[in-house]
Amino acid sequence: MIENKTRPKKIILTGFMGTGKTVVGKLLAAKLRWLHFDTDALIENSEGLSVSDIFEKKGEPHFRKLEKRCFEGLISLNEVVITTGGGTLLDEECFKMANDEGIILCLWASEEELRKRISKDKTRPLLKSGFEDLLKLLKEREPQYKKMGIQIDTTDLTPEQVCQKIIVIAGLNG
Protein backbone atom coordinates (compact mmCIF):
# COMPACT_ATOMS: atom_id res chain seq x y z
CA MET A 1 0.00 0.00 0.00
CA ILE A 2 1.13 3.57 -0.71
CA GLU A 3 2.67 5.22 2.32
CA ASN A 4 0.83 8.51 2.31
CA LYS A 5 -2.16 9.77 4.23
CA THR A 6 -4.24 10.76 1.23
CA ARG A 7 -5.67 8.56 -1.46
CA PRO A 8 -4.15 9.18 -4.87
CA LYS A 9 -6.28 11.19 -7.30
CA LYS A 10 -4.31 10.20 -10.37
CA ILE A 11 -2.95 6.86 -11.50
CA ILE A 12 -0.44 6.95 -14.33
CA LEU A 13 0.32 3.71 -16.14
CA THR A 14 3.56 3.52 -18.05
CA GLY A 15 5.82 0.85 -19.47
CA PHE A 16 6.80 -0.67 -22.77
CA MET A 17 4.31 -1.37 -25.53
CA GLY A 18 2.36 -4.57 -25.14
CA THR A 19 2.45 -4.63 -21.35
CA GLY A 20 -1.29 -3.98 -21.07
CA LYS A 21 -1.42 -0.30 -20.18
CA THR A 22 -4.48 0.65 -22.22
CA VAL A 23 -6.53 -2.46 -21.47
CA VAL A 24 -5.74 -2.24 -17.75
CA GLY A 25 -6.25 1.53 -17.71
CA LYS A 26 -9.78 1.29 -19.14
CA LEU A 27 -10.76 -1.50 -16.76
CA LEU A 28 -9.20 0.22 -13.74
CA ALA A 29 -10.95 3.51 -14.48
CA ALA A 30 -14.29 1.71 -14.79
CA LYS A 31 -13.74 -0.08 -11.46
CA LEU A 32 -12.80 3.16 -9.69
CA ARG A 33 -15.49 5.16 -11.52
CA TRP A 34 -12.80 7.54 -12.65
CA LEU A 35 -12.10 8.89 -16.13
CA HIS A 36 -9.60 7.16 -18.37
CA PHE A 37 -7.37 9.00 -20.83
CA ASP A 38 -4.96 7.34 -23.22
CA THR A 39 -2.35 9.77 -24.53
CA ASP A 40 -1.86 7.93 -27.83
CA ALA A 41 -5.61 7.86 -28.54
CA LEU A 42 -5.98 11.56 -27.70
CA ILE A 43 -3.10 12.46 -30.00
CA GLU A 44 -4.53 10.34 -32.80
CA ASN A 45 -7.90 12.06 -32.41
CA SER A 46 -6.44 15.57 -32.36
CA GLU A 47 -4.13 14.95 -35.33
CA GLY A 48 -6.52 12.85 -37.39
CA LEU A 49 -3.65 10.40 -37.92
CA SER A 50 -2.56 7.17 -36.31
CA VAL A 51 0.56 7.23 -34.15
CA SER A 52 2.25 5.21 -36.87
CA ASP A 53 1.31 7.81 -39.51
CA ILE A 54 2.46 10.67 -37.29
CA PHE A 55 5.86 8.96 -36.89
CA GLU A 56 6.09 8.35 -40.63
CA LYS A 57 4.84 11.72 -41.90
CA LYS A 58 5.93 14.15 -39.21
CA GLY A 59 8.69 12.30 -37.35
CA GLU A 60 9.22 11.06 -33.83
CA PRO A 61 10.35 14.46 -32.43
CA HIS A 62 7.01 15.98 -33.53
CA PHE A 63 5.12 13.10 -31.91
CA ARG A 64 7.07 13.54 -28.64
CA LYS A 65 6.10 17.24 -28.54
CA LEU A 66 2.44 16.33 -28.99
CA GLU A 67 2.75 13.63 -26.35
CA LYS A 68 4.24 16.05 -23.82
CA ARG A 69 1.60 18.70 -24.48
CA CYS A 70 -1.14 16.10 -24.11
CA PHE A 71 0.27 14.78 -20.83
CA GLU A 72 0.66 18.30 -19.42
CA GLY A 73 -3.04 18.89 -20.07
CA LEU A 74 -4.13 15.68 -18.37
CA ILE A 75 -1.99 15.78 -15.24
CA SER A 76 -4.00 18.64 -13.72
CA LEU A 77 -7.16 16.50 -13.62
CA ASN A 78 -8.28 14.45 -10.61
CA GLU A 79 -9.79 10.99 -10.34
CA VAL A 80 -8.19 9.92 -13.60
CA VAL A 81 -6.29 6.95 -14.90
CA ILE A 82 -3.81 8.09 -17.54
CA THR A 83 -2.24 5.54 -19.83
CA THR A 84 0.87 6.84 -21.52
CA GLY A 85 2.81 5.83 -24.57
CA GLY A 86 5.98 3.92 -23.70
CA GLY A 87 8.13 7.02 -24.17
CA THR A 88 6.04 9.66 -22.37
CA LEU A 89 7.60 9.42 -18.93
CA LEU A 90 11.09 9.09 -20.38
CA ASP A 91 10.79 12.87 -20.72
CA GLU A 92 12.14 14.23 -17.41
CA GLU A 93 9.52 16.97 -17.09
CA CYS A 94 6.65 14.56 -17.72
CA PHE A 95 8.11 12.12 -15.21
CA LYS A 96 8.45 14.83 -12.57
CA MET A 97 4.85 15.98 -13.11
CA ALA A 98 3.59 12.40 -12.86
CA ASN A 99 5.66 11.67 -9.77
CA ASP A 100 4.57 14.90 -8.05
CA GLU A 101 0.89 14.63 -8.93
CA GLY A 102 -0.01 10.96 -8.84
CA ILE A 103 1.05 7.38 -8.46
CA ILE A 104 3.10 5.84 -11.26
CA LEU A 105 2.80 2.15 -12.02
CA CYS A 106 5.17 0.67 -14.57
CA LEU A 107 3.81 -2.44 -16.25
CA TRP A 108 6.16 -5.19 -17.46
CA ALA A 109 5.91 -8.42 -19.39
CA SER A 110 8.46 -11.04 -20.43
CA GLU A 111 10.02 -10.81 -23.88
CA GLU A 112 8.18 -13.98 -24.88
CA GLU A 113 4.85 -12.52 -23.75
CA LEU A 114 5.55 -9.22 -25.52
CA ARG A 115 6.30 -11.12 -28.70
CA LYS A 116 2.94 -12.92 -28.43
CA ARG A 117 1.05 -9.71 -27.70
CA ILE A 118 2.52 -7.35 -30.28
CA SER A 119 4.42 -9.13 -33.04
CA LYS A 120 1.43 -9.18 -35.39
CA ASP A 121 0.27 -5.64 -34.60
CA LYS A 122 1.18 -3.52 -37.63
CA THR A 123 -0.15 -0.31 -36.04
CA ARG A 124 2.87 0.09 -33.78
CA PRO A 125 5.37 2.46 -35.42
CA LEU A 126 8.41 1.22 -33.53
CA LEU A 127 7.68 -2.34 -34.68
CA LYS A 128 8.20 -1.51 -38.34
CA SER A 129 11.89 -2.41 -38.21
CA GLY A 130 11.18 -5.81 -36.64
CA PHE A 131 10.77 -7.39 -33.25
CA GLU A 132 14.50 -7.79 -32.59
CA ASP A 133 15.00 -4.03 -32.96
CA LEU A 134 12.08 -3.54 -30.61
CA LEU A 135 13.77 -5.74 -28.02
CA LYS A 136 16.90 -3.64 -28.38
CA LEU A 137 14.79 -0.54 -27.63
CA LEU A 138 13.31 -2.30 -24.59
CA LYS A 139 16.82 -3.06 -23.30
CA GLU A 140 17.78 0.60 -23.78
CA ARG A 141 14.72 1.83 -21.90
CA GLU A 142 14.77 -0.83 -19.20
CA PRO A 143 17.01 1.04 -16.70
CA GLN A 144 14.71 4.08 -16.92
CA TYR A 145 11.56 2.00 -16.59
CA LYS A 146 12.99 0.28 -13.50
CA LYS A 147 13.19 3.71 -11.80
CA MET A 148 9.57 4.58 -12.58
CA GLY A 149 7.21 4.00 -9.73
CA ILE A 150 5.89 0.63 -8.70
CA GLN A 151 6.72 -2.28 -11.01
CA ILE A 152 4.03 -4.80 -11.95
CA ASP A 153 4.82 -7.84 -14.07
CA THR A 154 1.72 -8.54 -16.19
CA THR A 155 3.12 -11.65 -17.91
CA ASP A 156 0.97 -14.22 -16.11
CA LEU A 157 -1.84 -11.94 -14.95
CA THR A 158 -5.17 -11.13 -16.51
CA PRO A 159 -6.10 -7.44 -16.84
CA GLU A 160 -8.57 -8.01 -13.97
CA GLN A 161 -5.78 -9.34 -11.74
CA VAL A 162 -3.52 -6.40 -12.62
CA CYS A 163 -6.34 -3.99 -11.70
CA GLN A 164 -6.91 -5.69 -8.36
CA LYS A 165 -3.20 -5.49 -7.64
CA ILE A 166 -3.14 -1.76 -8.48
CA ILE A 167 -6.19 -1.06 -6.32
CA VAL A 168 -4.53 -2.72 -3.33
CA ILE A 169 -1.13 -1.12 -3.94
CA ALA A 170 -2.68 2.36 -4.29
CA GLY A 171 -4.80 1.91 -1.15
CA LEU A 172 -8.04 2.38 -3.08
CA ASN A 173 -9.70 -0.77 -1.82
CA GLY A 174 -11.20 0.58 1.33
Q: Would you give per-residue pLDDT tens digits along the chain (174 residues)?
A: 444 446 789 999 999 888 999 999 999 999 999 999 999 999 999 999 998 899 899 999 999 999 999 999 999 999 999 999 888 999 999 999 999 999 999 999 998 898 888 766 665 555 555 667 778 888 888 888 888 889 999 999 999 999 999 999 999 986
Task: Give residue 37's region: left, alpha or beta (phi > 0; psi -120 to 50).
Answer: beta
> Quick check: pTM over 0.95?
no
What are the residue ranges spanned by the domains of the chain? 10-169
Supply the CATH classification number for the domain 10-169: 3.40.50.300
CB 97 within 8 A of CB 71: yes
